[in-house]
Amino acid sequence: MPEIWLVVIGAALWGVDPLFRVLLLKYLTSTQIVLLEHIILFFFAAPVLIKRRHELWNVRLLQVGALLFLSWGGSAIATILFTQGLATGDLNAVLLLQKLQPLIAIIMARYLLKERLPQYFGVLIALALVGTYLLTFGWSVPDFGAGAFVQVGSLLSVGAAILWGGSTVMGRYMLGSMSYETVTSLRFILALPLLLVITASGGGSWIFPTNGGEQALMALNMILQALLPGLLSLLLYYKGLSVVKASYATLAELSFPMVGVIINWIAFNQMITTAQLTGFVLIWATLYMISKQQSDGPSARLN
């Protein structure tokens, strides 16, 4: 199986996140949830990092910067920016602006990683973005309202898109010198100090259910959310990313909105529309063509 499908599966697992998050958001803030997730993941990541500590001996200053971008930006700040964007800005504008992620990642990969793009790659980008648009908005044209793109929510959303798009490139850069297990562990561990500071400075109250059954369900949701859309997804994602170009991977990540549509259909009884089905087909056709090009062409490994 071409490694790009590991990226597809890893990103698709992010789509199951709402199944676990619904209960948690009844009691905790987004920052508190992210902090607890990283505390759980620390106990899985720390033994891996201890075992592979020799990989840290020759870390250069530039790599430290990439790791901080990956952990602080991708794991912590981007999620907070996106959540705040939804709370303070136009929802349509915030969602549409997130589709800047592939473009940001591809541009950064071109200039930072010197990746050469294959023929007709621009057409593939266009197909994937059209498919994602159809999944998000259907056949309708979003009504942004006057000045929506300069609202605070829109600016926060652009910040999240930049950080998530950049995290793909920084992760690909680090995988040139570290194993995917080490990069995954560092992403979780390095984010913890920043999340502790942000959560403490937020001043939000910690509220937990008093009913024993709800407490058990909340604990189970937290553990599953940390292990499935958290740990397992990133292990698959970084294993695939270790041999897949960042410019390819960022399009493969569009499997996330597709899974979101399926989850809404199965769990929340929201039927898939014709527009969403069309978007689904467009994105998967794009992923198939990218996978075929990677299989037929030379290896994408870094030198």
Q: Alpha-carbon dihedral of residues 240, 244, 249, 253, nearest 10 degrees? A: -20
Residue 210: what pLDDT? 81
Q: Which residues of 58-77 are buried (b: 16+ CB within 10 A; e: fewer)?
A: eeeeebeebbebbbbbbbbb
Residue 47: what pLDDT? 95
Query: Distance (Å, rounded) from C-alpha 17 to C-alpha 267?
Result: 12
| Mean pLDDT in order along the chain per 10 residues (303 residues) | 83 80 79 91 94 92 94 89 67 60 78 77 84 79 56 75 88 90 94 94 81 87 89 89 81 76 72 80 80 59 33
Q: State CA 104 to chain mean position distance.
A: 14
The terminus-to-terminus CA distance of the chain in angstroms comes to 22
Residue 302: what pLDDT? 34
Residue 174: what pLDDT? 93
DSSP-derived 3-state class of residue 69 = helix
Query: Distance (Å, rounded) from C-alpha 26 to C-alpha 70?
Result: 29
